[in-house]
Amino acid sequence: MADYLLSIMTFFPLLGVLVLLFIPRDNGALLKMSTLAVSLVTFAISLPLAFDNVFATSGAMQYREFHEWINVGNFFQMNYNLGVDGISLWLVMLTTFITPLAILSTWNAIDKNIKGFMAMLLLLETGMLGAFVSIDLFLFYIFWELMLIPMYFLIGIWGGKNRIYAAVKFFIYTAVGSLLMLVAIMFIYYFAVKSGAPMNGFSIEEFYKLDLPYNAQFWLFMAFGLSFAIKVPMFPLHTWLPDAHTEAPTAGSVILAAVLLKMGTYGYVRFAMPLFPEALPTFIPFLAFLSVVGIIYGSLVAMMQDDIKKLVAYSSVAHLGFVMLGVFALNMQGLAGGMIQMINHGISTGALFLIVGFIYERRHTRLITEFGGIATKMPIFATIFMIVTFSSIGLPGTNGFIGEFLALMGAFQGGLRWYAVFATSGVILAAIYMLWVYQRVMFGKVTNPKNENLKDLSVREIVIMLPLLLFIFWIGIYPNTFFSKMNPAMEKMLMQMGANPVAVVEMQQPTVAHVGLDDQAQTVVHND
Amino acid sequence: MYSNLWLIPFFPLVGAIFNGLFGKKIKNEAVIGGIATGLMFLSFLVAAQNFIKLLGDSEKVHELVLASWITVGNFHLNWELLLDPLSAVMIMVVTGVGTLIHLYSIGYMHGEVGFYRFFSYMNLFAFSMLMLVLGGNALVMFVGWEGVGLCSYLLIGYYYEKKSASTAANKAFIVNRVGDFGFLCGLFTLFWALASKGVWTLNFVKIAESGHLLESGGLLVTVVTLCFFLGATGKSAQIPLFTWLPDAMEGPTPVSALIHAATMVTAGVYMIGRMNGLFAMAPATMMTIAIVGGLTAFFAATIGLAQNDIKRVLAYSTVSQLGYMFLAMGVGAFSAGIFHLMTHAFFKACLFLGSGSVIHGMHHAYHHAHLHDDPQDMRNMGGLRKKMPITFITFLVSTIAISGIPLFSGFFSKDEILWWSFGSTRGHWMLWVLGAAAAGMTAFYMFRLVFMTFFGEQKTDSRAKDHIPESPFTITIPLMVLGLLAVIGGYIGIPAVLGGSNRFEHFLAPVFEHAQHLNEIHAHGSHATEYTLMAISVAIAIVGIFTAWVMYIKNPELPAKFVAKYSRAHRVIFNKWYIDELYEAVFVVPCKRIGTFLWKDVDVKVVDGVVNGCAWVVKGLGTGLRYTQSGYLYNYAMAMVVGVVVIVGFFVF
Amino acid sequence: MEAILFYLTATVAIISAIFVTQCRNPVNSALNLITTFLCLAVFYIMLESPFMAAIQIMVYAGAIMVLIVFVIMLLNLGLAVKSRYTHGVPAAGILAALVLFVVNYFIRAGEATGTGGNITSEVITSYGHTELIGRAMFVDFLLPFEIASILLLVAIVGAVVLSKREV
Amino acid sequence: MITVNHYLLLSAILFAIGTFGVLTRKNAIVIFMCIEVMLNSVNLTFIALSRHVGNMDGQIFVFFVMTVAAAEAAVGLALMIAFYRNKDSIDVDDFNMLKW
């Protein structure tokens, strides 16, 4: 079992799709139950990963699986090459954890073509898991594209009024990026073939060792970086996100926010940055700048939204700005902050989308002005919303704080000082837009008669939220559960990026650009 | 040794969780209130036990590591608590005053729908505040720091159906966040500065030990401390971030007493005290703090002169008194600042609770008479001393204390501060003038409050005036205890010049002495000067009281004439110097405008314009080319055959 | 003798093929198509492939044509009401001529090479054509054969689904 | 002597006729029959060359062509029936939903 754990985990949802095919389309209950069961089993399959202590000691890929797949000699060779390390571990867990919740959230929300919807969700899960556990770059690309299609249909078929526009926008934005990435992947591959470097198909482990000339690294980083930046999304490539989120059904939004956006950031950490360490310092000031712009811009725009879901979508832009800033700090604190913030964003923003979904199901509108005084009618909902709001704001003791704090601290140490200062102002803005919307939706008197008869959360809805709340506090109070298993892999990855994991950029140096590679610019401190 | 320290914050946390989860089902107010108050009292007992133990202990600094928290690379952080004289004083104040206010709330909040919610929040607040003062490193402190902000938000917005309440709550949290921005920046700078010297820590003890690695008076330490001070101004309502505190009076009165007078707002002062080593190294910051503190004390006092809402007067008084504490911190009188913090906690809590008692009575009367007048407006009160004798006496005592009349607690702490601001190596006579002027105004407006409320004719609506009762014992007992403390609380810190030994300062010495010594901070001057200054300040206070007596008892028509004569000045003061309007115009409106601009113009027009523009180009090309697509089968077939012919032809020829 | 038979049959085949394309009534086209198929069967026999000829008659002239005629009857198609032809006749004519030209050129320009396989007339007569086909099909081409059967299955399913009135 | 070239030429002629028919006729069933003519012309090529080369592979190929033709007949005719049901015609002129 352990030898094939990753394969079983990745393809179990696909098996579920097959099972769904044999269930009559009008038996909605059975369809939902079996989809839920499949996703829960997938989660159960993935659980041993979370409890495996090997990640705490080794930064190498674990649970390796290797089979030759397509082999046309040097012309083209790719392998079925899977593995998971501390970087992807928690993202895999997040995926298997969020999917059942997303499925559970659609219990009453979807009424047309349940079968197709559920099949798409499961297919999506396979795509996401596959992308996280692929070592072979080409295999990664296949899964990366595989994710795109179910999401496209989820938005395009089960979405809101403007769904076609949103779906096409989402698809084309992402496809543009991924095609660039494909070209870059092919370039690396044939570069490796020509230079006679040892290869193992498209295995990134071998690609890491490649000695690409700076010029090539520059352009390749552009291609990879653009592709991932679209997915993240970084300003100014973010405009697909609000549309996609607003139009997507709740489950789609949740998964889109919780996992799909992480593909972009994960792509930076796993591929773009370690593959092209020499080009990295050239881009860091620019990318860090965009991250900070994203934080402030996303927050300001979120503040003025009149649609709750759009607000949450723009807040995602801001949150992911923190992730990217942390990652670009190129030190342990920053990377750890970025990584944990990915998980946090998955949990908190996922929860926010679920919350928006709950009231949308009740009122079929998301306009803030339609609400007001809901707290009186739905006290449990109000409490949960409050907790999630503060998690999103980054209140200490909740998960959001750990991520933002470490990311900013890392950026501060990593020579991105001024960026960090500006990014910290995002902390204020986050409080403004979240509290403001909370006030307008929940507080005050019930003025709209349509809100008079709102029912509080059902047991099912509470069950969806409880695990999320658990992790909001868990990560806030004892994040070492997660860090301990990420640390070795992060250290390894930072070395690969050409950075010193414990570097502190001295204050006498100019604040930007001299990160990582320039030995003069850093003092290496060992404190053990 | 001090291993039961964790119980102190733990008890209130249990109470918060218990009442939060089950309070709604229990419904019985006695049980809910009893649990909350009882757990606070348990916490107080543990705090007292630790305090007494520390008194007799020669080793004054104790750390307790509870668990690891964040371990990333070289960065290692624990959940850790720190007990030293400073935090010992603070936990005594927090748990002691906290217990009394909890007890008070049982009576005050009687019959509220959200009774359980209130106590859950209160306990949560106590937990956060205790984490703040006990936190052994800056981040644990920050947890408490934000936690109290959260509870403040929740409690200000307790009457969330009122728009003004929820707006005030938002304002409080957001303004505090501005301060937190400073706190975080300070934290990052400090950590980075120390880490680049090889010390990866946020632990207070270690920071104090390695403070010498930073250049004294250098840019770095100045920036760090200024950032921290920005944090303190947010939490402690100093210029420029004081506007939230008066609005925070939307919360129930016990909240104002506990959070916005006795404990939370003093967190900034405590934080400066906690990091006194760093602050002492940055004279520029110290000067800024002293000036800001002095100015806040002065300005808030001017605003307090003209307010008619009983709680608002107290709120501005709080801002003003906090300004005193910062003045003390700024001139290096750390222990005097903490001393004033403590005495202020006693008399201001008593004042707020007393005002709560008055409001409670007024509310009761109006409710009885089915009127909807404002129970907080002092213009409707008067002559209440006969109706509420206990409330009156405790209130009067506290007022005397805050005015700085000798033998009452406020006198000792306030005079200590004024003396230091004059005589300290970091002081200046102008700071003393600011402080003394504020003291005079304080005496004036506090007695104005007392005279308008308790003396003179009763101006309450005649239908309600006979129904104002004295409050129940759960309310009066805390009042009496706090009133007593307001009288005697000062005797633990009688300065040497008055023949005392200032035991308070000696107790805190292990925390502050080192930094003061190292940076040559001390007050100098002859006893004669000190006596003179003391006499002047007492005289000013008495003048203030006398003026109030003249204006509100002897010639009650005088204030109206006065207002008419200086109408412009009055309007400015009455409208709080238009600071709120200024902030609205400078920050809020532009922020919204920019947000809208970024959304409607940049996002929709520019970015999406480019994206949709690409789509339009492609679509245009497609529209042109689509005419080649007739849709007729044979056209496609023909195209195919042409293709075949061409390809085959290519190979053949 | 062989040449006469060839030319005769070829003429019939071409003429009937032209009729297939030109008849007004689809039934006539179908009948002419059968003639073409039969002519091809004759060629197969001349090429010493009797089995193929048999299959040609059974599958094409039998099964497929029956199906086509059946559909024509089912849809009750009469004579073309409007013009029989699309407006692409000249272009189509030119194209057809071009195809013919290209193929003809191809045949004349290049000599078919690769003679000398082991299946000569003698081999065919000694083993029998059917056996040779069977050998090739069930030994060398077993997998494609099986796949072809799946294709047919799919086609059956497809035909049923498509022609069902309500899906 | 009839050589392989004769057969090839004949099949080319048949192919051209079939092509012409496909491109010019409107009746879908007639088009379909023209396609059958084209397929058969190719079959003839296969068998002729197979005999010429002395290899059975070409003949096997013819088998598969027939299989495909049969499948095509089944599905294609079913399509026409479906189409006729909707449009009441099988003129390819009416088959213009493919545009835009």
Tell me how far apart the 2 most distant CA atoms of chain C are, in Å: 58
The answer to whether A501 contacts chain B (CB < 8 Å) is yes
C·D CB contacts under 8 A: 238
C-chain residue closest to B645, CA distance: C99
Rounded CA separation B246/B261 (Å):
11
Domain boundary among C61, C81, C109: C61
Give start and end residues of each alpha helix (H) in B493-607: 503-518, 527-549, 558-565, 567-574, 579-583, 589-596
Which distant-in-sequence residues (6+ apart) come within 8 Å of A383 by Cβ?
A: none
Rounded CA separation A207/A221 (Å):
14
Residue A522: pLDDT band (50, 70, 90) is very low
Rounded CA separation C140/C119 (Å):
15
Would you say residue B237 has pLDDT above 90? no
How many residues in chain A?
A: 528
The answer to whether C33 contacts chain D (CB < 8 Å) is yes
D-chain residue closest to B629, CA distance: D99
Please provide the DSSP assignment of D8-35 as one string.
HHHHHHHHHHHHHHHHHB-BHHHHHHHH
Helix, coil or strand: residue A503: strand
Would you say residue A511 has pLDDT above 80? no
- The confidence score (pLDDT) of residue A127 equals 92
Residues A186 and A311 in one domain: no
Phi and psi angles of residue A63, each rounded to the nearest 5 degrees, phi first? 55, 45
Best to test chain A binding among B10, B68, B72 (most A CBs inside 10 Å): B72
Question: Is C110 exposed, middle or buried, given 0-12, 13-18 or 19+ CB atoms closer than 10 A?
Answer: exposed
Residues of C in contact with D90 (CB under 8 A): 75, 77
Residues A35 and A167 in one domain: yes
Q: Is residue A508 part of a domain?
A: no
Candidate from D31, D92, D100 with C-beta closest to B629: D100
Q: Do D23 and B633 touch (CB under 8 A)?
A: no
Would you say residue C133 has pLDDT above 60? yes
CB distance B264 to B154 below 8 Å:
no
Q: Do B595 and A303 touch (CB under 8 A)?
A: yes
Please tell me the total count of domains within chain C.
2
- What is the average pLDDT across C106-130? 75
The answer to whether B637 contacts chain D (CB < 8 Å) is yes
Whether A and D touch (3+ CB pairs < 8 Å), yes or no: no
Place of tokens 């033709």: D69
Stretch (H or E) spanning B241? none
Would you say residue B420 has pLDDT above 90? no
Candidate from B70, B196, B608 with C-beta closest to A504: B196
Residues A64 and A146 in one domain: yes
Tokens read off for B628:
């080649």
Residues A222 and A291 in one domain: no
Which distant-in-sequence residues (6+ apart) come within 8 Å of C43 by Cβ?
A: C6, C9, C13, D7, D10, D44, D47, D48
Whether C and A touch (3+ CB pairs < 8 Å), yes or no: no
pLDDT single digits (tens) A302-320: 988 888 999 999 999 999 9
Which distant-in-sequence residues (6+ apart) come within 8 Å of A369 by Cβ?
A: A306, A440
Residue C116: pLDDT band (50, 70, 90) is low
Distance from CA of B646 to the nearest CA of D (A): 15
Residues A216 and A345 in one domain: no
CB distance A326 to A407 below 8 Å:
yes
Please tell me the total count of domains within chain A.
2
pLDDT single digits (tens) D50-71: 888 888 888 899 989 999 988 9
Half-sphere exposure (Cβ direction) of C142: Cα atoms closer than 13 Å: 4
Residues of B in contact with D19 (CB under 8 A): 641
Tokens read off for A56:
């705490």
Q: Is residue C38 part of a domain?
A: yes
Q: Is residue A517 part of a domain?
A: no
Peptide bond into A150 cis (omega under 30): no
Nearest Cα neighbor of A150 from A49, A239, A35 is A35
Q: At what angle do helices B219-235 and B267-274 cross, to 10 degrees?
A: 160
Would you say residue A523 has pLDDT above 50? no
- The confidence score (pLDDT) of residue D99 equals 62
The CATH class for the domain spanning D4-90 reads mainly alpha
CB distance D28 to D12 below 8 Å:
no
Q: Do B631 and D93 touch (CB under 8 A)?
A: no
ipTM above 0.95, yes or no: no
Domain extent at residue A125 = 1-278
pLDDT single digits (tens) D38-51: 999 999 999 988 88
- What is the average pLDDT across A12-38? 89
CB neighbourhood size of B162 (10 A): 15
Candidate from B71, B178, B594 with C-beta closest to A300: B594
Residues of D in contact with C88 (CB under 8 A): 23-24
Which has more pLDDT, B1 or D16?
A: D16
- The confidence score (pLDDT) of residue C13 equals 92
- The confidence score (pLDDT) of residue A28 equals 82
CB neighbourhood size of B182 (10 A): 20
Tokens read off for B164:
């003004």
Q: Do D53 and C115 touch (CB under 8 A)?
A: yes
Which residue type sits at B155? L
Which has more pLDDT, C76 or B10?
A: B10
Percent of chain A with pLDDT over 90: 30
Residues of C in contact with D44 (CB under 8 A): 40, 43
Distance from CA of C107 to the nearest CA of D (A): 7
The answer to whether B74 contacts chain A (CB < 8 Å) is yes
Domain boundary among C61, C79, C112: C61
Helix, coil or strand: residue B354: helix
Residues of C in contact with B644 (CB under 8 A): 99
Tokens read off for B415:
């005079």
Distance from CA of C19 to the nearest CA of D (A): 10
Q: Do A507 and B193 touch (CB under 8 A)?
A: yes
Rounded CA separation B74/A525 (Å):
9
Would you say residue D89 has pLDDT above 60? yes
Q: Is residue C154 part of a domain?
A: yes
Distance from CA of B618 to the nearest CA of C (A): 31
Q: Poorest-confidence range of A473-487, B553-567, D68-82?
A: B553-567
The answer to whether C147 contacts chain D (CB < 8 Å) is no
Residues A221 and A293 in one domain: no
Question: What are the residues facing B137 on neighbouring strands?
Answer: B203
Q: Is residue C86 part of a domain?
A: no
Which has more pLDDT, C163 or A266?
A: A266
C-chain residue closest to B637, CA distance: C92
Q: Is residue A512 part of a domain?
A: no
Q: Do B594 and A484 touch (CB under 8 A)?
A: no
Would you say residue C78 has pLDDT above 70? no
Q: Is residue A523 part of a domain?
A: no
Q: Is residue A261 part of a domain?
A: yes
Which residue type sits at B254? P
Q: Is residue C97 part of a domain?
A: no
Helix, coil or strand: residue A203: strand
pLDDT single digits (tens) A346-358: 999 999 999 999 8
Q: Is residue A3 part of a domain?
A: yes
Which distant-in-sequence residues (6+ apart) come within 8 Å of B72 by Cβ?
A: A332, A333, A336, A406, A483, A487
How many residues in chain C?
A: 167
Candidate from C91, C92, C105 with C-beta closest to B652: C105
Residues A305 and A423 in one domain: yes
pLDDT single digits (tens) B359-392: 888 888 888 888 777 778 887 787 788 888 888 8
Would you say residue C166 has pLDDT above 70? no
Question: What are the residues facing B174 on neighbouring strands?
Answer: none
Q: Do B641 and D23 touch (CB under 8 A)?
A: yes
Would you say residue C82 has pLDDT above 70? no
Stretch (H or E) spanning B209? helix B204-210
Residues of D in contact with C73 (CB under 8 A): none
Q: Is residue C137 part of a domain?
A: yes
Q: Residues C21-47, buried b or exposed e (16+ Cβ, 10 A)?
A: bbbeebbebbbbbbbbbbbbbbbbebb
Tokens read off for A323:
């992730």
Going from N- to C-terminal start, the domains of chain B cover: 282-574, 581-652
- The confidence score (pLDDT) of residue B1 equals 65
Which distant-in-sequence residues (6+ apart) come within 8 Å of A493 by Cβ?
A: A59, A87, A269, A270, A274, A335
Rounded CA separation C93/C99 (Å):
10
Domain extent at residue C15 = 1-61
B-chain residue closest to D31, CA distance: B634
Tokens read off for A358:
């709950």
Distance from CA of C160 to the nearest CA of D (A): 8
Residue A143: pLDDT band (50, 70, 90) is very high
Q: Poorest-confidence range of A460-464, B9-13, B435-439, B622-626?
A: B622-626
Distance from CA of D99 to the nearest CA of C (A): 17
- Report chain D's mean pLDDT, rounded to a whole number: 86
The answer to whether B528 contacts chain C (CB < 8 Å) is no
pTM of the model: 0.81
Residues of C in contact with D75 (CB under 8 A): 155, 158-159, 162
Residues A253 and A302 in one domain: no
List, as ranges, residues 60-119 from B with C-beta within 8 Å of D: none
